[in-house]
């Protein structure tokens, strides 16, 4: 029988809690082998009741020392402090996973002071409903078996894939920030329906199902979005008139520019953070 890995989630906020639920539901681990830490006792009690696992307010070192897999579900600004707190109990036979996508593996290695497999992951907010998109990078210490296990963790809450680390800036801009762009489009579509006389409830329900259905068609058919778009268009119809208006106002160009801008900002932020610690 295959041994169940002991996993701890340090900083079980929204995404950390989503991972806990996903791992338990998918059978990646069980409640006996899964622990977590949070800031407050109230939050610890809530997660313990919800998932049936041991959750502590603090005590990071104790949880890390007992784990095979350590998931750091903390903000980029908090990650260096947490790494310096736990590095004396980290072991080279552990798997370390950071969800602070802005922090490069090189800096994590420097702060951890261990030659161990380190994974840098960028999950997005829809992991909360098990429809997340996660990109993962790994250092040279990660084995194929470890890569498969880490991918299994994130597949439990959506789609997961491996990318080269230098591509993480583009990932952050596309899938990390992407839900915000989609929410803006959803909001605008609802308001368009309101302008044309639909009730807010009907406009909202029709919009959310339209976006969900369109995305599902892309995923399940494997067809290029341009082909699917052409299937909706009829000569001289309403759809082509609307598309002409969107193109005239530069919707496509604006979205491409938004991803480019966000990618550059992610790169600048990483360089600033890494430079500060490189000087210390």
pLDDT at residue 1 tops 50: no
Contact between 119 and 136 (Cβ < 8 Å): yes
Mean residue pLDDT across the chain: 94
- Choose among 86, 73, 111, 112: nearest CA to 277: 111
What confidence score (pLDDT) does residue 112 get? Answer: 95
Tell me which residue of 37, 119, 21, 130 sits closest to 85, measured CA to CA. 37
| Contact present, 142 and 120 (Cβ < 8 Å) | no
Q: Model confidence over 171-193: pLDDT tens digits?
A: 999 999 999 999 999 999 999 99
Report percent pLDDT > 90 for the chain. 91
pLDDT in tens, 75-88: 988 999 999 999 99
Give the chain's domains with CATH numbers: 7-170 (3.40.50.720), 176-258 (1.10.3730.10)
Mean pLDDT for the stretch of residues 155-181 = 97
Alpha helices in 196-280 (DSSP H): 200-221, 225-232, 238-248, 251-278
């Amino acid at each position: 029988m295959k041994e169940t890995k002991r996993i701890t989630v340090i900083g079980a906020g929204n995404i950390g809690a989503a991972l806990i639920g996903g791992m338990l539901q998918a059978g990646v681990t069980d409640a006996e082998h899964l622990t977590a830490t949070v800031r407050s006792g109230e939050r610890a009690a809530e997660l313990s009741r919800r998932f049936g696992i041991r959750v502590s307010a603090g005590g990071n070192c104790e949880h890390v020392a007992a784990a095979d897999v350590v998931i750091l579900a903390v903000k980029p600004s908090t990650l260096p402090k947490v790494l310096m707190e736990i590095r004396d109990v980290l072991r080279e036979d552990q798997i370390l996973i950071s969800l602070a996508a802005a922090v490069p593996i090189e800096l994590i290695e420097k702060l951890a002071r261990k030659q161990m497999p380190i994974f840098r992951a960028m999950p997005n907010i829809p992991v909360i409903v098990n429809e997340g998109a996660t990109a993962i990078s790994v250092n040279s210490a990660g084995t194929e078996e470890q890569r498969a296990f880490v991918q299994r963790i994130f597949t439990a809450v959506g789609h997961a894939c491996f990318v080269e680390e230098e591509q993480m800036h583009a990932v952050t801009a596309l899938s990390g920030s992407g839900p915000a762009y989609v929410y803006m489009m959803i909001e605008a579509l609802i308001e368009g329906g309101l302008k044309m006389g639909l009730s807010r409830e009907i406009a909202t329900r029709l919009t959310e199902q339209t976006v969900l259905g369109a995305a599902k068609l892309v995923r399940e058919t494997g067809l290029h979005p341009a082909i699917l778009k052409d299937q909706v268009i009829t000569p001289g119809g309403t759809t082509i008139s609307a598309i002409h208006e969107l193109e005239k106002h530069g919707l496509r160009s604006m979205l491409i520019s938004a991803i480019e801008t966000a990618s550059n900002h992610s790169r600048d932020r990483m360089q600033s953070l890494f430079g500060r610690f490189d000087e210390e």
